[in-house]
């Protein structure tokens, strides 16, 4: 009886979820979670220790693998969103192009990390210049992932489209009063 209830719940969930839902749920993994191995590697460098280095490199490989389903669900999500008239096709295309670049950068980082783990498996640590290069690539990859997520948010979230980066960062000193005409014209200009 229990297995029937679980199966029934899964079937109801499958009827509700679309590729767009799945893509939106999965895309948080490489964006938010990817900061963890970078932070661990930075802590390791600040302590002048190498204990967390291996863990960080292993996590780079894992996040490269976890990014694959995010990337693969993007095309079916795109096909579903294309049918919606209020969705900007230009915004989708910008997100897709950026996602291609960020995805292959993430996969490159995963491959280089796997190479380093294999090549230096019998030594105590990865040579510091290689670790620095991997950290630099990881920071670049994180920036690209954040950029792609921001572009993806602009597909449907009008509050992201209408605002400027400086306002998100609290850097705008001269704020103009809100008007619906200004808001609508900024949407048309994007």
- Give percent of the chain with pLDDT exceeding 70: 74
Whole-model pTM: value is 0.74
The owner of tokens 């992932």 is 145
CA distances (Å), origin 147, targets 90, 134, 153:
16, 20, 10
Determine the pLDDT at residue 173: 43
The domain limits of the chain are 15-162+182-186
User: Which of these ranges, 32-36, 71-75, 132-136, has the smallest mean pLDDT?
Assistant: 71-75
The pLDDT tens digits of the residues spanning 99-140 come to 999 999 999 999 999 999 999 988 878 888 999 999 999 999
More confident call, 173 vs 136: 136
What's the rounded Cα separation, in Å, for the pair 31 and 149?
Answer: 7
State the chain's mean pLDDT as an integer: 80
Look up tokens 């948010």; give the residue. Answer: 153
What is the tens place of the pLDDT at every residue in 49-59?
778 899 999 99
């Amino acid at each position: 009886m229990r297995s029937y209830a679980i199966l029934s719940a899964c079937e109801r969930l499958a009827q509700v979820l679309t590729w767009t839902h799945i893509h939106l749920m999965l895309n948080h993994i490489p964006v938010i979670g990817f900061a963890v191995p970078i932070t661990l590697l930075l802590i390791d460098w600040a302590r002048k220790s190498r204990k967390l280095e291996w863990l960080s490199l292993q996590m780079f490989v894992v996040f490269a693998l976890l990014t694959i389903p995010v990337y693969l669900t993007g095309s079916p999500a795109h096909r579903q969103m294309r049918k919606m008239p209020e969705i900007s096709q230009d915004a989708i295309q910008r997100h897709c192009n950026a996602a291609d670049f960020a995805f292959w950068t993430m996969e490159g980082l995963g491959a280089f990390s796997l190479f380093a783990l294999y090549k230096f498996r019998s030594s105590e640590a990865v040579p510091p210049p290689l670790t620095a290069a991997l950290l630099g690539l990881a920071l670049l990859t994180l920036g690209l992932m954040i950029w792609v997520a921001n572009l993806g948010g602009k597909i449907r979230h009008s509050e992201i489209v209408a605002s400027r980066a400086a306002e998100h960062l609290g850097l705008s000193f001269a704020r103009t009063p809100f008007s619906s005409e200004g808001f609508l014209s900024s949407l048309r200009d994007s």
